[in-house]
Structure 1
Amino acid sequence: MTKKLSFAVATAVMTCSLVANETTHLGEVNIIAGNNSDSKFKSNQISSEDMKLQEKNTVVEALNTISGITVNNHGIRGEQSVSIRGFSAKHAPVFIDGIAVNVPYDGYLDFANFTTFDLEKIQISKGLTSTLLGVNTFAGAINLVTKKPTKEFEGTISAGAFSGEGRKAYLNLGTNQGKYYIQASGSYLDRDYVPMSSNFNSTSVQDDGHRVNSYKEDRKVNLKVGYTPNDTDEYAINYINQKTKKGMPYPVYQSELGQNSYRQWPYSDKESFYFLSNTNFDLGYLKSRIFYDKFENNMYFFKDNTFKELRSNPTPYDANTKGISLELGQYDTQRNSLKLALHAKQDTQKDLDKDGNTSSVMKINYLSIGLEDTFKVTDDFRVITGISWDKDDVKKANNGSFKANGTRPYENVKEFEHTSESAFNPMIKVEYDIDETFGLYAGIAKKTRFASLKERYSFRLGSAIPNPDLKPEKAINYEIGANKIFDNQGIKSAFFYSDVKDYIQTDRVTNPFGGGMTNQNKNIGKVKHMGYELEYFYSFDETLDFDASYTRLLAEDKDKKVDITDAPKHKIALGVTYRPIKALTTNVNMQYSSNRHTTSNDRSKDTSGAAIWNAKIAYELVKGLTIDVGASNIFDKNYEYNYGYPEAGRVIYSNLTYKF
C-alpha cells in the first residue's frame, strides 16, 4: 500500500486536509486525529453504508460501534445519549453539517431522536479536538454530515417493519446538474412499544411483555439546494424539520419510582435553517455557516401509570439558537497551512405557561476565536499548533419559580445573577511518518466547558437550589497514538489521559432559606480519565471484512467524593461482513460494555455488563432492489444502561430497499 493511500486518502476521509479545495463536502469539519490512519479504521467516522449494513437507524445506535464511546440512558427523561471516554454528551457538542445543535438549556440532546437515513457519515473527534470548532469541545465533538448528490439523478426508497409493531420508511432523492444540486430526504420511524427480553423477571410495575409507556414516533424532512459555480466554490441552503412524540418508560422497580416518574413527551420538535458556503481566492478560502435552530418541547407529568390525569401543569418551552461561523484559511504552501475561525451564537430559552404565553426567558451568548497552524518540518514530520479564546455571557436569567413572597430557596429572586466567563485553550500535536505504512502522533490540549443554563439555574423539580456562580470545567488532555497499515489489514492504538479540575458535581449543602439539606451543583470535582483504545481491521478481497476495537477506561474522582457514573471500564465492538456471492451480504456485529455506576436513587446499584449481538442478511433480488432480514439482540439478553431501565429484548426486522 502506497503512502498516497495510507496517508493522503485517509487525510481527506478524516477531513484534515491541508489544501482547502480537497474538502469535497460543505458539511464536513476539521478534526484533529491520527492523520496517517487508513480510511478503513472506524475510530473517527462511520459511513452511511456501515450504518445501513448494521441496521443502525438512530445516531445513538451508530455511535455505539465506535471505540471510546458508550451509550447512556437518562432514565426517567426517556432519552439516550453517549459518553466519550467517560465524559457526558455535554462535554462533546453535536454538529449537523458543522453547526452546533445542542439544546440551549440542557447543553445536550436526545441522540435517539436523530435518525440516520439522511446522513452521509458521522465524524467523531476525541481528546485532541481542533481549536477551530468553537466552544465546549471538552472531550471531543460529533458531526452529522447530511447527504449530497453526486449523480444526475439518484435516490433510495425503503420500507420495513420490526418487533414492537414498529414501522419505518424513508426516501432520499437527489440530482446534481453540475452548476447546482438538489437533495430531498424524508423518513418515518414508529413503534408502539419496546419488547421486553424473555429473560426479564416481571415486577409489580412491569410485566415481561411490552415495556410500559415506550411508544415513539419520529418524522423528519431534510431539503438542501446547492450552487457550484466552479470546481472549488459551493453555496448551499438547508432546511431540516424533525418531529418526535414519545412515552417515557418509568423504572421497573418500585423503589425507584417517585412522584415525577409518569411522563410523556407530546412533542419534541426541532427545525433548522442554515446557509453554508465555501469561496476560494488566489491565496486561500473562506467558509461560512449562518444558522437558526428552533426547539419546541413539552412534557406531561401524570399522577399514575394510567396516564389519564395530569399531576401538574405541562412544561412547554420554545428555544432557539442563532449564529454565524467563519473560517478563513490559506492554501497549503510547501511547509505551512494557517486557519482562523470565528464562532458567534446566541441561545435563548423561553418557558411557556399552560396557555402558551412566555413565563420566563434565559439567554446566553457564546463567542470563540480559534487559530490553527500546520507546519511541515519535513515531508514526514508535522507540527500542528492551535489556540482558541472562548467566552460565554449570560444576558437573561428569569426565575420561572419566582414568587413575591416565596419561602422556598430563591423563589423571591426574580432575576438570577448574570455571569460571564472566558478561557484560553491552546493545543499542540506532532505527527511523524516512520515509513509509508507506519505513523506516530502525540499531543496536548487544554479544554474548557462552560456550565449550562440548567446546571446554573435549575431547581430540578424542587430537589435542588441553583448556583449562578458555577465556573467552567477545565481539562488538560494528553494523547499519543500509532497506526500501522499492512496490505489488507491494519492496527491502530491511542493512549489518553485527561486531568480535570472544577468538575461540576452535585453536592449536599445546607439549605440557606429554611434549614435542612438540599442539592446544589458545585465545582468540587478533581477528576482523571485515562485509558487506551485499540483497533484492528482485516479485509480479504471483496468477500470478507472484519473490524474490532477495544477501549479500556479508568475514570475516578481524585478526592473520592462521588463515584463517576456511566463510565464502564471495558468496551468492545466487533463487526464481520461476509459476501459469499455478489448478491448476498451478511453481517454480524457486537457491542459490549462492562458494568457501570448509574444515576439511580441508590448509587450502589450498578448495572451488569452485557454483550449484545446483532445479525443481518441482505439479498439483491434484481439490480438496485434488496430485501433484508435480521435481528438485534439476537440472544435476547436482558440488560440495562441505567439501573431500573431495561433495554429492548430481541427485535426482529425486515426491509425492502430500492436504490437507483
Structure 2
Amino acid sequence: MDTKIATFALAGALAAPQAALAQDAGAVYNLGEIHVTAPGETPDDRGVPVATPTTRAAAKVPFQSATPAPIGGDTISAEKFETFEKATLDKAVELTPGVIAYDMAGSRNEQNIYVHGFDRWQVPILLDGVRIYLPVDNRLDFGRFLTSNLAEVQISKGYASVLDGPGAMGGEINLVTRKPTKAVEGEIGTDFDFSRSGWYTGSRSYARVGTKQDLYYLQAAGAFNNSRGWELPDAYVGNVHQGEGLRGNSAAKDRDINLKAGYTPNATDEYSINYLRQEGQKGAPYNVSPYGYSPYTSMAPKYWTWPYWDVQSLAALTHTQIDPTAYVNTKIFWNRFDNALRQYSDAAQTTQSDGNAGNSSYHDWSLGGSVEAGKDILPWDTLKAALHYRRDTHNEQSFGFTNPKTGKPAGCVANTPCYASPVINEYEDTYSVALENTAHVWDHVDLVQGFSYEWRNTLKAQGFNGSNAPYGMIYYPNSYAAAPNGQVAAIWRYNDTDKVYLSFSDRTRFPTLFERYSTKFGYAIANASLQPERAANVQLGWEGYVAQRLKVEADVYGSDVQDMIGTVQNIPLPNGKTTTQSQNIGHGHILGADLKADWAATDDLALGGHASLIHRWVNYSKGVTGQLTGVPGVAAFFYAQWRPLANVTLTPDVQIAGQRWSSNAAGNGYVQTGAYALVNFKAEWQAYEGLTFTAGARNLTDRLYVLSDGYPEPGRTFYLGARYTF
C-alpha cells in the first residue's frame, strides 16, 4: 500500500457506511435508514415529495432476499421508472446523480453505465444479489435489461460492501425484482411509440400475476419490447450511409420472463427459486461521422447485427434466522449466456464475401454460490462473514469468408464460410472470502470495517489466429491472481432524519479474459500479463431535511486508480501497420460532487432534480496517450410534477449534459461531442382506481446530439400508454 493509499486509509478511520450498514438482514438493531418517497410514490405523513393521483392497487414490493438499499448510494423505485417512462435499465439509472449512460461502442449498439466515473467492468451488476457476469468480456448491454418487473434498482457509488462479492472496484448495481403481497394481484400495461413524423416505431408490453399465501408465494411476469427503429432529428443532414428519417439498422426486440416461487414457514425465514429468461436481438446503426454535415470520408462502417442476445438465470436464495441475533443467507445460481454476431460485406446485409465478413457465436455459462452469516457478538457489535465462488466458462466459434492464409476471397464462395475456427474454450474460477464488523460505538454513531481476499484461477485460455501468420490455435498459459481489499465507514445520525457519512474503500478488479487474450478479429494483440487495477475511493456525504417538505442530499468523492486498464491504439507492427492492445495505461484520478433535492412545494406540486460534477484524468505510462471517454464533466436532471386535477398529473423534465470525449469514427483518436439539453413531458390520467392512461414526448425540442462519434441519437419521439393494476 503506497503513501497515498495509506493516507486515505488513515482518513477512512472516521469513515461512514454506504452499502455495508444496510446489509444487516438478521441484526437486532434498527439503524434508522430513512426512505425518501420518489416521484410517483405516495407521500408519507411528513409531506415528503411527491404529488401523484395514481393509486397503486399492487405495490412494487422488493424481493426480500435481495441486498438492502445502500447508504451513501441511491435507490430508484419502480414508481419512479413509471413516472419518467424509463423502460430500460440504461435510461432508469440516470434518475440518480453521478450515474451516466453512454453508447460507448456505437458499432456494437451497446449501452454502458458509469457510476462516479467507473464503468461496467468496474461496477458489477446483480439480480436479487446474484452477480450477472458475461464470462469472456462482461460486455453487458444495459439497454437489453427491461425495468417492468423491477421493484427498485439499488446503486452503490464508490463503496460497496465486501460481503456482496468480488469486483466492486467502483460500486455496484443491484436489480431487485418484485414479489407478491396479496392473495391475488397483478398488473398489465402497454406503450406505443411514434416518431416526430408520426410513424409508428414500436411498442412495449408487460404483465405480472402473483399470489401470497400464509406459507408460500408464486409469481410470473413477462415483458416484450418491439422497436422498429427510431427517427433522426430534423437537423440531421443525410449522407451516403444514412439518409434523413428512420435510422437504418436501429430495430431491436427484447422479451423476458421471470418466474418466482417462495416458501415462508414463519415471519423471518424465506426460501425461494427464481428463473429469468431474457431474449434479445438487435441491429447496429452505421457510423455517419461527422454527424452528416459533410460527406463521409472516414473508415467504412461496420455492417453488424446480432440475431440473438440471450441471458438465463436460475437461482435458489435462502434466509434463515437462527435466533434473534444470528442469521444465515445462501445463494446458489446458474447463468447461461448465448449471443451471435453477424458481420456483412455490404450495407444491405445480404452478402458475406470479404475480410470484413464473419460469424461469431458465444455459448457461455456460470455456476456458483455464496454463504453469508451474521451474529451480534456483543450488544453493540455485529460480525458478518461471506464466502463466494463462481466458475465461468466460455465457448466461442468463428466463421470466415476469405482464405485464412491470404485474407482474400479467391477460392471462396460468397455467403458460404471459407473456414471455421476450432471451438475456443476458456474457463476460470473466482473466489472471495469477506469479513465485516459493525460497531455501534455511540447511540447515534456506527463504525463499519470490512476486509476481503479475492483470487482468480484461469484454468484454460485459448485463441485462434485466422488473420496473420502463424495461423491456428493459440494456447495461453494458466494464470493466477489474488488481492486483498479493505474498507472502513462511519455514519452519524444526529437526529431522526438527517445523517453525515464518510467512507473509504480500497478494492481490486481482475481483467477479463477478453482484455487479456482477445485479438479482436485480428485487429489487436493479446496481453496475458495484464495486471489487475485497484481503486482507493473516499466519499463524504450528508442527507437531511432543510425544511419539513424539502430533502437534500450532497456528497463529494475522490478516487485514486492504480494500474488503470485501457486500450492503447496505434501500436506499430513490423509490417508497417498498427494495432491495439489492452494495457495498464497509468495512474488514474477522479474527483466529483453530487447534489440532489426533492421538494413538495404544495400538496399538488413537487419540484426536484440533481446535478453532478466530475473530473477524470490519467498520468499515463511512458509512450501512452489517450482520453477517458463516456462521462461529461457536468450533468443535471430537473423535474416538476403538477396535479391540476385530482386524477391528472403533468410531469415535465429536462436532462442536461456537458461535452464528453469519444473515440473518433476512424478508431485512431478522440473527439469531443457537444453538450445538450433534452426536454421531456408526460401527462397521466387515472380513469379510475387501478387504470391509468399516459401520453408524452421525449426530446421534445428535436435536439440533434451525439454521445459516440458518428452516432446521432433519436429525435423527437411521442408515446401513448395504458396500465391496469389489481
Q: TM-score range by the shorter chain?
A: over 0.9
1:67 maps to 97
2:247 maps to 211
- For 2:345, give the aligned amino acid: K
Cα pair 1:15 1:28 within 8 Å, conserved: no
Q: 1:273 aligns with which of 304, 314, 339?
A: 314
Q: Could you tell me the percent identity over the aligned residues?
A: 30
C-alpha change, 1:11 and 1:645, in structure 2 (3 Å) is: closer
CA distance in 2, matches of 1:257, 1:175: 57
C-alpha change, 1:357 and 1:512, in structure 2 (3 Å) is: closer
Per mean C-alpha deviation after superposition, the further-off stretch among 515-524 and 334-343 is 515-524
Cα pair 2:258 2:276 within 8 Å, conserved: yes
Q: 2:350 aligns with which of 308, 311, 314?
A: 308
CA deviation vs aligned residue, 1:304-353 (integer Å, no higher than 9, x gap): 11111124331011011110011111148531111111110011110035
CA distance in 1, matches of 2:272, 2:711: 42
Q: 2:288 aligns with which of 225, 245, 252?
A: 252
- 1:361 corresponds to 2:396: no
1:574 maps to 638
- Where do 1:138-177 residues align within 5 Å? 138-163=169-194, 164-177=200-213
Cα pair 2:559 2:591 within 8 Å, conserved: yes
- Where do 1:618-633 residues align within 5 Å? 618-633=684-699
CA distance in 1, matches of 2:245, 2:676: 21
- For 1:170, give the aligned amino acid: Y
CA distance in 2, matches of 1:444, 1:97: 25
**Higher RCO by CA contacts (8 Å cutoff, separation 6 or greater):** 2
Offset, 1:192: 1.0
Cα pair 2:99 2:116 within 8 Å, conserved: yes
CA distance in 2, matches of 1:63, 1:317: 28
- 1:321 corresponds to 2:366: yes
1:33 maps to 71
CA deviation vs aligned residue, 1:56-107 (integer Å, no higher than 9, x gap): 0000010122111111112100111111112211110111111111211112
- For 1:190, give the aligned amino acid: N
- For 1:293, give the aligned amino acid: N
Q: How many pairs does the alignment contain?
A: 639
Cα pair 2:634 2:657 within 8 Å, conserved: yes
Q: 2:389 aligns with which of 344, 353, 356?
A: 344
CA distance in 1, matches of 2:579, 2:484: 34
Offset, 1:513: 7.1
Offset, 1:11: 9.7
C-alpha change, 1:552 and 1:632, in structure 2 (3 Å) is: same
CA distance in 2, matches of 1:167, 1:270: 22
Cα pair 1:590 1:612 within 8 Å, conserved: yes
1:52 maps to 82
- 1:489 corresponds to 2:530: no
Offset, 1:357: 9.5
- 1:450 corresponds to 2:510: yes
CA distance in 1, matches of 2:651, 2:489: 37
CA distance in 1, matches of 2:618, 2:71: 27
CA deviation vs aligned residue, 1:428-469 (integer Å, no higher than 9, x gap): 111113334432111211011100111001111221100011
1:284 maps to 326
Q: 1:78 aligns with which of 93, 109, 113?
A: 109
CA distance in 2, matches of 1:275, 1:120: 19
- For 2:595, give the aligned amino acid: L
- For 1:654, give the aligned amino acid: L
- For 1:269, give the aligned amino acid: D
CA distance in 2, matches of 1:389, 1:365: 14
Cα pair 1:285 1:331 within 8 Å, conserved: no
C-alpha change, 1:32 and 1:56, in structure 2 (3 Å) is: closer
CA distance in 2, matches of 1:288, 1:534: 36
CA deviation vs aligned residue, 1:263-298 (integer Å, no higher than 9, x gap): 011111111111111011024111111111101100
- 1:130 corresponds to 2:194: no
- 1:435 corresponds to 2:471: no
C-alpha change, 1:135 and 1:317, in structure 2 (3 Å) is: same
- 1:644 corresponds to 2:706: no
Offset, 1:413: 5.7
Offset, 1:635: 1.2
SS at match of 1:626: strand
1:37 maps to none
1:107 maps to 138
Q: Unpaired runs of 5+ in structure 1?
A: 1-9, 35-42
- Where do 1:477-556 residues align within 5 Å? 477-485=537-545, 486-507=547-568, 517-540=578-601, 542-556=603-617
Offset, 1:30: 4.8
Cα pair 1:262 1:305 within 8 Å, conserved: yes
CA deviation vs aligned residue, 1:215-236 (integer Å, no higher than 9, x gap): 1111111110111000000011
C-alpha change, 1:350 and 1:519, in structure 2 (3 Å) is: same
- For 1:457, give the aligned amino acid: Y
Offset, 1:256: 7.5
Question: Under a length normalisation based on structure 2, what TM-score does the superposition of the two structures give?
Answer: 0.84
- For 1:619, give the aligned amino acid: W
Q: 1:400 aligns with which of 464, 480, 491?
A: 464
Cα pair 1:443 1:480 within 8 Å, conserved: yes
2:264 maps to 228
- For 2:654, give the aligned amino acid: M
Cα pair 1:616 1:631 within 8 Å, conserved: yes
1:375 maps to 439
CA distance in 1, matches of 2:18, 2:462: 47
CA deviation vs aligned residue, 1:603-627 (integer Å, no higher than 9, x gap): 3421111122211111111221111
C-alpha change, 1:191 and 1:357, in structure 2 (3 Å) is: same
CA distance in 1, matches of 2:19, 2:571: 55
Cα pair 1:18 1:337 within 8 Å, conserved: no
CA deviation vs aligned residue, 1:108-127 (integer Å, no higher than 9, x gap): 30000000011100000011
1:94 maps to 125
SS at match of 1:314: strand
CA distance in 2, matches of 1:167, 1:644: 27
CA distance in 1, matches of 2:21, 2:487: 19
- For 2:79, give the aligned amino acid: E
- For 2:112, give the aligned amino acid: S
Cα pair 2:19 2:160 within 8 Å, conserved: no
Once superposed, what is the RMSD of the aligned Cα atoms?
2.4
Question: Under a length normalisation based on structure 1, what TM-score does the superposition of the two structures give?
Answer: 0.92
CA deviation vs aligned residue, 1:506-530 (integer Å, no higher than 9, x gap): 2357667767543221112211011
Q: 1:293 aligns with which of 335, 338, 343?
A: 335
